[in-house]
Structure 1
Amino acid sequence: MQRKCLPILALALAGWILLPGIGDAATPAANAPSLRIHTASGVVEGVRDDGLAVFKGLPYAAPPLGALRWRAPQAAPSWRGVRKADAFGNVCMQVPGAARAAGAGDVGPMGEDCLTLNVWTPGTAGATRPVMVWIHGGALVFGAGSQAPYAGNALAERGAVVVTLNYRLGPLGFFDHPALAAGSGGDVNFGLLDQVAALKWVRDNIAAFGGDPGNVTIFGESAGGQSVLALFASPKARGLFQRGIAQSPYGIPSHTRAKARAVSVEIASASGLDGSRATGEQLRAIPAERLSQAGAIKGNSLAPGFAVGDTALPQPILEAFQQSRQAKLPLIIGSNSDEATVATAFGLDPAAVVERLGAGRILLKPLYPGVSDDAELGRQAIRDLVFTAFARRIAYLHSQRAPTWRYYFNHVQDGLRPAPAGVGHGGEIVYVMGTADACRCLAVPFSTADRKVSRDIGDYWFAFARNGVPAAAGAPAWPKDSAKRAQVLEFADTPTPRANFMQARLNVMIGALKGIGGYLGKKE
């Protein structure tokens, strides 16, 4: 029955973008962080923001233009004088308006010259603060590090140096046309290589911003959470970070190189070229806007998965974890209570999914006692098949190699109760980042109770980044998850540890998925 759901779920995820404490206090004006920093490429000058120093639009690699399109990122060029860092850089190319249509707001001006990052720091002199590098979501086709829900102020006020980044998306970030084989070095996941390049920039430059290059936490949601797991699995990222937080990664399998090549040929055809016969010169001459539009045609996208078999991702993510080849580093992983919004936001009817199961409904319903409505049954099944079971599977495997903590975010905003069925895909982000009041991205404002949840989860995240153990003052201890004892911290009105959370249901789902060929890890 899971096979019947796969094409619909993959399509829904492929078109989705995410929705949108206590450490050091803000530095007094007399000891304010410097706004001029010497980087490896030259001097940059940031701006002051309530005691923090903020640097926007810093290039971490050369613009991937002309001959550098579909190549691994190259070193950023140097400059003379002082470079102003007071405005975000271009957003990487994507379909115009897609982020707004998906409820994430306008991402701003786009361009192929987009490999920039942003830094929020509470202090730049003589400090070695934990570094937190945020990787945005958006199915690998939408989004930007400059979006308002991702602002690093709240985590920086706790004492972290926060970095957000852009990486190449869609056909410009994930492409495998045969004409490029010689010049690309066999790579296809250029967007993932961009993330690696950004982490190398952090390693080489972040000390000047007050950060500790030996204490870097990567974290992200949806495609960003999937990227965290991919970086754990990637040989290219070894030694560039010390721990990770994967928020709502999904059990949609990556693609084979054959699939990636077929899609890339179709994109060439849709861009007006002669499919597989197109030359590298012709491909690099296609306007970036036309490529983005061609990649949005149904069937012409690899989203939301990576391609397997290049230097960045030699094997599927789950396979790497199964074979204990992932980085042996602490990990937090989890998901939300209504992740099916990723499907329903794009027209998928959960009741129709259950109806398609036919006789399979008899097997599904006992896993959800008390749920009689097919729409609700479908929502919960989609959530658990794609997200909850996958998080448990990864946690189970990783806990045998390194400390692992698992969460389930279930705090519905006070002002929205009792309407929502739970917390939708991406709904935890403003709590983690502490941006609910500033982002102007919520239907109703936060209440005192909402702010308490935000403070708690932000404290857990910051403590994990600081010393590798998630903890929050006045909040419960977070037990590790393990192969022997399943443990989850549920973020509801108060954080609540739960043993054997959904255990029977998740065991059945994981067993069934493995039995039909490993939907959560099988290559397409």
Structure 2
Amino acid sequence: MKNEPLRIHTAEGALRGAIDEGIFVFKGIPYAAPPVGALRWRTPKPVTPWKEVRDATHWGNASWQHREQCVLAGGGDPGHLSEDCLYLNVWSPEIQPSRPLPVMVWIHGGGFTIGAGSLHPYNGKALAARGVVVVTLNYRLGHLGFFAHPALDAEYPSGEVVNNFALLDQIAALQWVQRNIASFGGDRRNVTIFGESSGGRSVLSLFASPLAAGLFHKGIVQSAYSLPDKKRQDALASGVAVAHHFGLENASAEELRALPADSFWSLPVRLGNGPVAIAGDRVLPKPVVEVFAAARQHRYPLMIGYNSDEASVLEYFGVDPTATITTLRQRRPLLLKLIKSLYDEHDDHRLGRKVARDMAFGTLTWLAVHAQHQRGVPGWRYYFDYVSENSRDLCRYGSWHGNEIPYVMDTLTAENVQMADRPFTDNDRQFARRISEYWLRFAHDASEFSHQLQGEVIWPAWHPGADVTLRFGIKGEAAIVTQHRFMRLRLRLLRLLMRAMVKLK
């Protein structure tokens, strides 16, 4: 029966949840104190414990953001917006299992500017029904989540400065999991963090953050982009420019914290953060790419991959992939000839999309699994190339950025505003079951000693010799196959040439 009352005790107080088709659901659980007033741009503080039973049957607030943009491109309506946004949600199939269940913590994407853990594609009910405890969370977005200014830095001792408040929120949520997930039937010693796009970048950032050590045990990265993290000095200059925009020439910390919370998401593009964290503070001392290039990430198992038409997201933001090919033809014709030979593609538009995809997403997957191998801990690489049956005329170049999410989460039956006129089919849903099984197997079984993942196709951990990639879909059709040395030469070339290519833009 749906929405039956249910009571759970946590370290902070009792919660009243509900049962939805046999799954225990708790929504809007505060995992840290509201980061408002004097707590804006500070490390998350503990929740004040409550004495009465707290209702946990409604979603918590999402961070301030552009609602229409989230509806259009972020997965749906994020709900009520507020600076008071540090809430999480839990789905569990069994509160008192015979053995604690694996925990999967989803970190939503959206360029660190839009999104919420309550969105329909992220509903944890389907995965929970298959034997895991699922947690989704909200965290501070935009300038509320990532911000640097000299007046704020002055509040910290030397070497203790914090700028990545969104990452600290995610760390606070993982600390909540360590404190409380046993009450929901979860195993705090087997926590998988997973996320897509900026959520995937968050996973990589947590792998690189000394403050996140010991709070999780493995990670899954979906379509994380290779953009460099923002340098702290650039973030400070940006923070000063934001203050100037609001008429604060020599802003004090108090004046900055007095600015209306809803004024930041509507700032001009030139004052935007960009979809990356800030490198150089206590949370992220070194850039993510630099940490993985040196194989200094935490020694946890990692699964990482990307989709066949990631250029779709670049196109959404007005980046023309064809322009890079045109520039290469004008400035580096020999390099273009080499790239064409590797891609066996002569149409500039198609070639541009593939090069943009592999440079912006593929090179990071290669770097990450190579770093895992160097670190002596397993990594698995995948490539998602399935397109739902009613969307194949629309997705002509492959699977769009984010298209894998409802397959991974097994939420093809959930409401999908963007694709209302292109409903998912039974074949789509069957393929989603097959794909999500690998995510579940990883959560259940992957450890630092694993050499492979079980499934309908055995998935070996990556190492340079075999260089195995698991393909979910081939040219839009349903298939799960392993492939050796998939895109090997392309990604090596683009990794070597990335700096030169960036300069061409």
Q: TM-score, normalised by structure 2?
A: 0.92
CA gap of 1:463–1:379, structure 2 versus 1, over 3 A, is: same
CA distance in 1, matches of 2:320, 2:231: 29
Aligned to 1:311: 282
CA gap of 1:193–1:361, structure 2 versus 1, over 3 A, is: farther
Q: Of 413, 420, 423, which aligns to 1:437? A: 413
CA distance in 2, matches of 1:36, 1:490: 43
Cα deviation per residue 1:433-490 (whole Å; 9 max; x = unaligned)?
01111132434222232222211111100111011167465x2111211133311000
Matching of residue 491 in structure 1 with residue 472 in structure 2: yes
CA distance in 1, matches of 2:416, 2:393: 22
Aligned to 1:512: 497
Cα deviation per residue 1:19-41 (whole Å; 9 max; x = unaligned)?
xxxxxxxxxx8xx9982111111
Instruction: Indicate the SS of the match to 1:230.
Output: helix
Aligned-residue RMSD, C-alpha? 2.0
Listed as ranges, the matches of 1:330-479 within 5 Å are 330-357=301-328, 358-360=330-332, 362-368=334-340, 369-401=343-375, 402-420=377-395, 421-441=397-417, 442=419, 443-468=421-446, 471=453, 473=455, 475-479=456-460
2:61/2:79 contact within 8 Å kept:
yes
1:34/1:53 contact within 8 Å kept:
no
1:245/1:332 contact within 8 Å kept:
yes
Report deviation, 1:182: 3.1
Matching of residue 118 in structure 1 with residue 93 in structure 2: no
Instruction: Indicate the SS of the match to 1:106.
Output: coil
1:129/1:160 contact within 8 Å kept:
yes
Listed as ranges, the matches of 1:3-14 within 5 Å are none
CA distance in 1, matches of 2:362, 2:212: 26
CA distance in 1, matches of 2:255, 2:72: 32
Listed as ranges, the matches of 1:64-463 within 5 Å are 64-102=35-73, 104-126=75-97, 127-183=99-155, 185-274=160-249, 277-294=250-267, 297-357=268-328, 358-360=330-332, 362-368=334-340, 369-401=343-375, 402-420=377-395, 421-441=397-417, 442=419, 443-463=421-441
Aligned to 1:3: none
CA distance in 1, matches of 2:339, 2:427: 32
What stretches of structure 1 of length at least 5 have no aligned partner?
1-28
CA distance in 1, matches of 2:317, 2:231: 26
Cα deviation per residue 1:166-193 (whole Å; 9 max; x = unaligned)?
1111111101111111335510000001
**One-letter code of the match for 2:57?**
D
Report deviation, 1:268: 1.2
Matching of residue 502 in structure 1 with residue 487 in structure 2: yes
**One-letter code of the match for 1:367?**
I
Instruction: Indicate the SS of the match to 1:102.
Output: helix
1:141/1:169 contact within 8 Å kept:
yes
CA distance in 1, matches of 2:150, 2:315: 36
**One-letter code of the match for 1:373?**
D
1:59/1:115 contact within 8 Å kept:
yes
1:365/1:377 contact within 8 Å kept:
no
CA distance in 1, matches of 2:74, 2:146: 24
CA distance in 2, matches of 1:365, 1:374: 12
What stretches of structure 2 of length at least 5 have no aligned partner?
none
Report deviation, 1:95: 2.7
CA gap of 1:448–1:95, structure 2 versus 1, over 3 A, is: closer
Runs of 4+ in 1 over 3 A off after TM superposition: 469-473
**One-letter code of the match for 2:422?**
V
Q: TM-score, normalised by structure 1?
A: 0.89
Cα deviation per residue 1:65-120 (whole Å; 9 max; x = unaligned)?
11100000011111111000011111111134221243632211100000000000
Instruction: Indicate the SS of the match to 1:292.
Output: coil
Report deviation, 1:272: 2.9
Report deviation, 1:360: 2.8
1:179/1:279 contact within 8 Å kept:
yes
CA gap of 1:448–1:364, structure 2 versus 1, over 3 A, is: farther
Report deviation, 1:376: 1.1
**One-letter code of the match for 1:131?**
V
Instruction: Indicate the SS of the match to 2:469.
Output: strand
1:399/1:482 contact within 8 Å kept:
yes
Instruction: Indicate the SS of the match to 2:203.
Output: helix
